[in-house]
Amino acid sequence: MSALFLPLAIGPWQIALIVVVVLLLFGGRKIPELMRGLGSGIKEFKDASKEEDDDTKIEEKK
């Protein structure tokens, strides 16, 4: 593996550390709210990108 990509490699210990830090920062009660917000944001993004694709297809047909 190249030394350039070595800092980007995430192993199981790094993931566990990130989970612990998130739990400490936000607490167990806030995490479902954060995930709901993240999910709705991703859904809106997908809908907007799909809508844009549909608009470009309609313009190409004209």
In angstroms, the CA 26 to CA 21 distance is: 9
pLDDT at 54: 66
Per-residue pLDDT of the chain (62 residues; tens, 9 = 90+): 455 665 667 788 888 898 888 888 888 888 888 889 989 999 999 888 887 766 666 666 65
The answer to whether the beta carbons of residues 13 and 21 sit under 8 Å apart is: no
pLDDT of residue 61: 63
Name, in order, each residue with C-beta under 8 angstroms of 31's C-beta and a sequence gap of 6 or more: 22, 23
